[in-house]
Amino acid sequence: MLFFYCMENQKRYRAIAIDGVSSSGKSTMAKRLAETLGYTYIDTGAMYRAVTWYFLEHQVNIEDENEVSKALDKIFITFRMVDGKNVCFINGQNAEPYIRIMEVSDFVSLVAAISLVRKKMVSLQQEIGKSADVVMDGRDIGTVVFPEADVKIFVYSPARLRAERRWLEMKETNPDITVDEIENNLNMRDHIDSNREDSPLKRAEDAFFVDNTNLNVEEQYETALQIIKGKLS
Ligand code: DC
């Protein structure tokens, strides 16, 4: 009886790690892959964005470790299903409406470079992976969060192209935004994310590299799905 109980508790859940540069279509792809596979989708960028939004709202001085630590103690991040989507909540509040604005995008890489912040987010991400099959997208999923992930994919395309694609999505809600402005933000974030000391953005050696320069959304999804099916079979 005890044997079966242990076996039951030792169930190893699967992890699909999707990493890559900013705004490379990781989230759209990861979300759809999760739906197809019946896995839980976790947008780890949303977690860092939610923390950033809280820090901005509460004017937390990110140079002051003590202040950062105290603020982190007051932050509880969870994911809940809203209209069929797994959404990031901060302290019981849906974070989505607040975390995609430019102020957050401009500041998030600095917050995500803080080790105290990363420690808390990574441990939460690993906890989630202990009780569900996950598709997780971010920057360090295949290298730090799940170094033993079942499948690792690294997504890339040039910054100008990513900025143009993002502009098309944003122009309705933010008509004043320019491609240059978006490109500058993406370059700035990629630079900080790739050069920080703690878990920098980099391709895991065993990650499949997907350059989506010449792929549309559908083709990118299909490419990733075939990689995953091949690896899991
Ligand atoms: O995926 P995104 O653009 O929403 O992520 C926002 C920022 O969070 C990004 O600039 C880098 C950081 N991030 C990170 O450092 N590690 C992750 N696993 C996910 C995001």
What's the average model confidence in pLDDT over 38-48? 97
Measured between alpha carbons, how far is 220 from 13 in angstroms, rounded to an integer? 25
Number of domains in the chain: 1
Domain with 223, as residue range(s), is 4-232
Task: Place 12 in a pLDDT band, splitting at 50, 70 and 90.
Answer: confident
Cα–ligand 1 centroid distance for 95 (angstroms): 15
Residue to probe by mutation, ligand 1, list 31, 47, 108, most atoms within 8 Å of CB = 108
Q: Counting atoms of ligand 1 from 1, which one is nearest the CA of 112?
A: 15
pLDDT over 80 at 227, yes or no: yes
Q: What is the mean pLDDT of the chain?
A: 94
pLDDT over 50 at 76, yes or no: yes
Give the whole-number percent of the chain exceeding pLDDT 90. 91
Check residue 1 and give its pLDDT: 47
pLDDT digits (tens, 9 = 90+) for 55-75: 999 999 999 999 999 999 999
Beta strands in 24-96 (DSSP E): 40-43, 77-82, 85-90, 93-94
Which residues form ligand 1's pocket by a CB distance below 6 Å?
22, 44-45, 48-49, 108-109, 112, 138-141, 189, 193
Q: What CATH number corresponds to the domain at position 159?
A: 3.40.50.300
Contacts of 78 (CB under 8 A, 6+ apart): 88, 89
Tokens of 91: 């302290």
Nearest CA to ligand 1 atom 20: 45
